[in-house]
Chain A
Amino acid sequence: MTEELKAAGSVSAKLPAERFDVIVVGAGPAGNAAAYTLAKSGLSVLQLERGEYPGSKNVQGAILYSNALEKIIPDFRDSAPLERHIVEQRFWLLDERSSLTSANYRSEEFNKPPYNRYTIIRARFDKWFSQKVQEAGALLICETTVTGLLRDNAGRVIGVSTERENGDIYADVVILADGVNSLVPSRAGLRPEIRTCDMALAVKEVLFLPKETIEQRFNISGSEGSVTEIAGGITHGMLGTAFIYTNKDSLAIGIGCILEGMKKQRVTPSELLEGLKNHPMVKPLIAGSEMKEYSAHMIPEGGYKTLPELYGDGWVIVGDSAGFVNAVHREGSNLAMTTGRIAAETIAALKAAGKPMSAANLAAYKESLDASFVMADMKKYQDMPDLLTNHPQYLGSYPSFISGALHDFLTVDGKSKAEKQHQIFQGLRQQRSLWGMLGDAYKFWRTFK
């Protein structure tokens, strides 16, 4: 078959280049929020997704924070596939092998609709969200990888190139929502290479268990659910956390650590997950389950200081692609949806006013973010990544000290309580000087202030 015949057989030879108001790169929470908002505002929107279908490449624990989605689709509860609403949050310290220290918060207030948080299964949720985006009027094309940005002579972004034949597509503005790896902005020189110390790698399994068993083991009923966030020795002293979430008839269990630590310690994510699953405090909760799904994903946890330029001539960047993650509060998808929405609102307003998508005009996106909780939260914890990286004792020796101290204190062995307290304190002093501890406490308090 010759090339001419190939061209004659395809429609490509006959059509002019495609043109849209906006191209959204990616169909995750950020891209969907942006595409939905823009399509609802009447703009012509093309959404390009690399995966086979929206959600095929996406991984999350996953907790849905209602507030961010309510601002986009107020009646989402009527049709979205939600698993359980969260009534209880458990904070656990698990040591490497045997013990558990926990604090739980449960409230009947969380049992009153409209619920604030839900567990979701992303494959189903993303399919639903994408359906909404398409119903709103955006054109979605999957299995198409954006390879670069098209620029005019002045350097303004005027569209995208794709890996497909005749793959250039034009738009007034491109929204980069291509997720954590952020390949398009990186290749285009819009953001620096992401450092391994700013990136966490999380692995997750979905374990099937009958509904009744889950409800019994987690003390929940109906559509109630619980969240368990875990820190401590279970991460081998690396900067990271683990979780167990309850779905309707499955559990999501996962663990994530900063890549740098895994590299140094030569620990594989699957070893960490096996360690968690075999911990005596976790094992009975997942006993008898069958693994349905195994997935791994990176999380950009560098925080405020690693945020790149958020806009330029003809482009904006949103969600994980920019690094909008609040690692302390385990928030990411809500920031993705919110940044996607605000970027879209900015663009729709410019379009309505007949203004060009220049960097000067798109600066309004960053101004809106600065005025919202997104930047307030990002700024609040801007020192946290450095603090935890430079002072691993916060997640290393302190948690193991707490469990050790409690163990000694609760063991009745004929020693006086005063003697025990003295021993515990001496034990701590051996690991860290008094001034060191006071300094740690002060630094920790500062990052939350």
Chain B
Amino acid sequence: MHIAVCIKQVPDSAQIRVHPVTNTIMRQGVPAIINPFDLFALEEALCLKDRFGARVTVLSMGPLQAEEAMKKALSFGADEAILVTDKVFAGADTLATSYALAAALRRLNEIDPIDIVFTGKQTIDGDTAQVGPGLAIRLGFQLLSYVSSIERIDPETREIIVHRRAEGGVQVLSSRLPCVITMLEGTNEMRFASMPDMFRAARFEVKYWNRDVAGIEDVKQVGLKGSPTVVNKVYAPRPKEVKAQFITGETPGRQADALVAKLFADHPEVASDLVSHLALLAGKGVSK
């Protein structure tokens, strides 16, 4: 079994600030991390490695600095790391990114046929959740998005059964390999790498694939040229200024009364809802 995991190196969005004067994003000094959602995808792939002895190849499209993220993925136990990098890929939106990654995956598939492509549900910098589905369409693989767990894989029949979170419930889906799985967050916990794996990662030479190696001929499809998305404006939303109110009262009971009275006065609909709810409960009580 061969599994490809597509990861992205992203700025740690928890540490990004907006410049107070120019309103632009201050990226300087913000540490780069593996997109947290991708870690769930990687761990799921590593679990399949443990279960089936699968080979795990980590793939990323990004600048040379992304090597750091690749090495980190290797330390967790990935077998191979390929960084798809080329100047022409710069400025790519999700359409152009999925084009370049799909090309690289096709090339990888020729070398070692891929059974599953994993991605995180979405990235924390773009938040679009489009690249995973884009890869499935471009590769002609089955698409299993928002997967919370893999129930069963039968390597013989190539059947796969997964749990997928949908609005209002969980779908249990049966599909077949090869497929693209986008993993939901919180589904597993990344393992703690062993010391020998840390050494292997530190010494590993990440493979670099440029557009030629990835088999991309039409440069109009990648990078800024291949990206129909236009960023119109970047701005920080102003937080709503609501003044805190202090409810006074001699005893906690009085304070609670005052709070309820205030809530009912400000939101009459809450009061009427509560009254009808209580009436309903009372009615049930009577019928018993």
A1-B50, A139-B203, A290-B20 as given contacts; A12 in contact with B77, CB under 8 Å: no
Question: A41-81 toward B: CB 8 Å interface, digit per residue (1/0)?
Answer: 00000000000110010000000000000000000000000
Contact A144 B198 (CB under 8 A): yes
Interface-facing stretch out of A3-11, A87-95, A254-262, A322-330: A3-11
Q: Count CB-based A-B contacts (< 8 Å).
A: 66
Q: Does B21 contact A (CB under 8 A)?
A: yes
Q: Does A36 contact B (CB under 8 A)?
A: no
CB distance from B250 to the nearest CB of A (A): 32
Question: Which chain B residues lie closer than 8 Å to A9 at the CB level?
Answer: 46, 49-50, 53, 77
CB distance from B70 to the nearest CB of A (A): 15
Q: Which residue of B lies closest to A290 (CB)?
A: B20
CB distance from A23 to the nearest CB of B (A): 12
Contact A164 B31 (CB under 8 A): no
Can you give 18 contacting A-B residue pairs, CB < 8 Å? Answer: A1-B47, A1-B50, A5-B50, A5-B51, A6-B50, A9-B46, A12-B195, A15-B199, A139-B199, A139-B202, A141-B198, A162-B195, A165-B194, A165-B195, A167-B195, A169-B195, A208-B20, A292-B29
Contact A10 B202 (CB under 8 A): no
Contact of B197 among A12, A123, A140, A162 (CB under 8 A): A12
Q: Which residue of A lies closest to B46 (CB)?
A: A9
Q: Does B192 contact A (CB under 8 A)?
A: yes
Q: Which residue of A lies closest to B54 (CB)?
A: A9
Question: B33-64 toward A: CB 8 Å interface, digit per residue (1/0)?
Answer: 00000000000001101110100000000000
Q: Does A210 contact B (CB under 8 A)?
A: yes
Question: A1-34 toward B: CB 8 Å interface, digit per residue (1/0)?
Answer: 1000110111110010010000000000000000
Contact A11 B31 (CB under 8 A): no
CB distance from B202 to the nearest CB of A (A): 5
**Cα distance, A210 to B22, chains bound together (Å):** 11
CB distance from A314 to the nearest CB of B (A): 20
Q: Does B262 contact A (CB under 8 A)?
A: no
Q: Does B17 contact A (CB under 8 A)?
A: yes
Q: Does B193 contact A (CB under 8 A)?
A: yes
Count contacts on B: residues with CB < 8 A to the other chain: 23
Question: Which chain B residues lie closer than 8 Å to A6 at the CB level?
Answer: 50
Residue among B49, B51, B196 with the highest chain A CB neighbour number at 10 A: B196
Question: Which chain A residues lie closer than 8 Å to B77 at the CB level?
Answer: 9-10
Q: Does A153 contact B (CB under 8 A)?
A: no
Interface of A is mostly: mixed
**Cα distance, A18 to B200, chains bound together (Å):** 11
CB distance from A45 to the nearest CB of B (A): 12
Top 8 A-B pairs, shortest CB-CB distance? A165-B194, A12-B196, A164-B195, A167-B195, A9-B50, A290-B20, A12-B194, A1-B50
Interface of B is mostly: helix
A1-B47, A6-B50 as given contacts; A164 in contact with B192, CB under 8 Å: yes
Contact A11 B200 (CB under 8 A): yes
Question: A126-140 toward B: CB 8 Å interface, digit per residue (1/0)?
Answer: 000000000000011
- Taking Cβ atoms with an 8 Å cutoff, the residues of A that contact B are 1, 5-6, 8-12, 15, 18, 52-53, 56, 121, 123-124, 139-141, 144, 162, 164-169, 208, 210, 290, 292
- Taking Cβ atoms with an 8 Å cutoff, the residues of B that contact A are 17, 20-21, 29, 31, 46-47, 49-51, 53, 77, 192-200, 202-203
Contact A10 B21 (CB under 8 A): no
Contact B47 A11 (CB under 8 A): no
Q: Known pairs A124-B29, A139-B203, A292-B17. 12 more at Cβ < 8 A?
A: A9-B50, A12-B194, A12-B197, A18-B196, A53-B31, A123-B29, A139-B199, A141-B202, A162-B195, A164-B195, A164-B198, A210-B21
**Cα distance, A124 to B29, chains bound together (Å):** 7
Contact B50 A166 (CB under 8 A): no
Residue among A6, A11, A167, A168 with the highest chain B CB neighbour number at 10 A: A11
CB distance from A72 to the nearest CB of B (A): 23
CB distance from A374 to the nearest CB of B (A): 32
A123-B29, A208-B20 as given contacts; A1 in contact with B51, CB under 8 Å: yes
**Cα distance, A292 to B46, chains bound together (Å):** 38
Question: Which chain A residues lie closer than 8 Å to B20 at the CB level?
Answer: 208, 290
**Cα distance, A59 to B34, chains bound together (Å):** 25
A10-B77, A139-B202 as given contacts; A166 in contact with B196, CB under 8 Å: yes
Question: Which chain A residues lie closer than 8 Å to B46 at the CB level?
Answer: 9
CB distance from A309 to the nearest CB of B (A): 29
Question: Which chain A residues lie closer than 8 Å to B47 at the CB level?
Answer: 1
Contact A52 B202 (CB under 8 A): no
Question: Which chain B residues lie closer than 8 Å to A56 at the CB level?
Answer: 31
Contact B21 A141 (CB under 8 A): no
**Cα distance, A319 to B195, chains bound together (Å):** 26
Question: Which chain A residues lie closer than 8 Å to B51 at the CB level?
Answer: 1, 5
CB distance from A128 to the nearest CB of B (A): 13
Question: Which chain A residues lie closer than 8 Å to B31 at the CB level?
Answer: 52-53, 56
**Cα distance, A84 to B140, chains bound together (Å):** 56
**Cα distance, A162 to B53, chains bound together (Å):** 28
Contact A10 B197 (CB under 8 A): yes
CB distance from A162 to the nearest CB of B (A): 6
Contact B194 A10 (CB under 8 A): yes
